[in-house]
Each structure stands twice: as C-alpha cells, then as structure tokens.
Amino acid sequence: MKAILSSEWLKLRSVSSTYHTIGTAALTVVLGVAWTFYVSGLAEDRGSLRAAAPEQGFLPLIQISLAVLGVLAITSEYATGMIRTSLTAVPKRSTLLLAKAGIVGLATLMAAGSILLVTYSASRLIAGGHQLGFNNTTFTDDLPMLLASALSVTALALVGLGLGAAIRSTAGAIVSVVAMLFVLPGVVNYLPPPWNTRVATLLLPNLVPQIADQRLSSRLGDGFLPPVAALAVLLAYPIVTLAIGYCVLERRDA
C-alpha cells in the first residue's frame, strides 16, 4: 500500500494542473487582503462597519478550485489512457481508488488549511483596530469555523474524485460539482416550506456554519443541525460519491 500511495503522490505532484488549481485557490489570500484594505478604509470614514470575514467570503473559490483538483486526479488518467497502466499496476480497483482518495484528501486538507490560515492571519493583521465585525473575535472563537471550512474543501475534493470516477469526464464532473455547490442552494429556496429549510440544512455549502455551531441565515428559517449531525452529513457526501465511483470503476472497462 505504501508503494501505491507513493505512486499516487508522484502522479499528483508531477502534473501542472495540481499547481494551477492550488494556485487559483491561493488567490483567496490576495483577494482577502484587498477586501480587508477596502473595508478598513470604509471603516475609517464610518467609525465601524459590519463586513464578511474574507476567509469565509472567498471560501467558495477554494472549494471549487480544489474540487477540480479532485476531479482531475482521475479524469486526466482517463483522458490520456494512463488509467490502463494504473489498473495493470494495481489490479484491485478499490485499492487504487482508496489510495487516490487518501492522497487527494491529505493534499487538499493541507492546502485549504494553509490558505485559510494565511488569509485569516493577514486580514486580522491589516484590520488592526478597525471595527469590522469579523476582527472582534479571538482565534479560539474562530477556530471551529476554520476547521469546518478546511474539512468542507477536503470533502468537496473527494466528491470531485468520486464523480470523476463515475462520470469519467472532466467537464461533466466539474459541472456536477458546480451544480452541487452553487445551483442547488438556489433551487432549494423555491421549495414549499418547511421543505426548503429542511433540505437547505443538508446542502454542502450550509454545513460549514452548522459544524461550527452557528445558525444559518434568517432566510433559511429556523433550520439547524447539531454540529455532530452536520459533520456526519458532510462526511456522507464523499463516502456516497466515492462508493458510486467505485461501483462504476469496478463494473466498467477502462
């Protein structure tokens, strides 16, 4: 298993798409700094200002960028035919997919955690004594949200890997991830109550604040999952999609 993990790690770090996706996610730091400078300037004129924390406002950029990394971790092999070589070297397909999931999960967790922490630290340093709302809490207060955000990125990257294994198309898997992250939350708003609230609490973008034990926005009513339940739902996303991806991988020829 160690040799398989080393091989998958070599594959991931030897392709340029890995650095492109992580680099795109890292733009969050630049955008977060620019946003903090902007709202700090407004706060100087108004005395105080309630502004969104940049590590949360730009979280979707990290999520979608590293989800693409998860997709490409397997669809790029289908596109080049490398998947045949991989399956020849590792005939047991469950072991191959599990190794890919382990490497993608670890890489995205480290990347997301680092980007979020740098964005958080830089924004608080720049904000200084300005009354911006997001800098009135301590690191201990914000740590649950940071951890939940990093976990959501990792989960979405693994979802991308599972969808890539199932669909075998880069474009199709990315569109599916985008729909899950951006389209479904909007569609749910049109469901009749109380189903709009019930379904909304289960959607991936809304799980982060619930894991951090924070209530959702008022537009979603009183819907709220306990942190443990929200974490369980978050973990269910990659487990289900990877299971589907494995079933397709096992039953269809490369």
**Is residue 180 in a domain?**
yes
**Is residue 228 in a domain?**
no
SS3 assignment, position 125? helix
- pTM exceeds 0.85 for this model: yes
> pLDDT digits over 232-249, tens only?
999 999 999 999 999 998
**Is residue 218 in a domain?**
no
> pLDDT digits over 177-201, tens only?
999 999 998 899 888 988 888 898 9
**Is residue 216 in a domain?**
no
Q: What are phi and psi of 161, to 5 degrees?
A: -65, -45
Please tell me the least confidently modeled range out of 52-56, 145-149, 178-182. 52-56
Q: What confidence tier does 152 reach under pLDDT thresholds 50, 70, 90?
A: very high
What is the distance between the alpha carbons of residues 88 and 97, in angstroms, rounded to a whole number? 14
Output 45 or 143, whichever has higher pLDDT.
143
**Is residue 92 in a domain?**
yes
What is the distance between the alpha carbons of residues 183 and 168, in angstroms, rounded to a whole number? 22
Asked whether 108 and 72 are in contact (CB, 8 A), the reply is no
The domain in which residue 46 lies consists of 2-185
**Is residue 195 in a domain?**
no
**Total structural domains within the chain:** 1
What is the distance between the alpha carbons of residues 207 and 205, in angstroms, rounded to a whole number? 6
> pLDDT digits over 65-105, tens only?
999 999 999 999 988 888 888 888 888 888 999 999 999 99
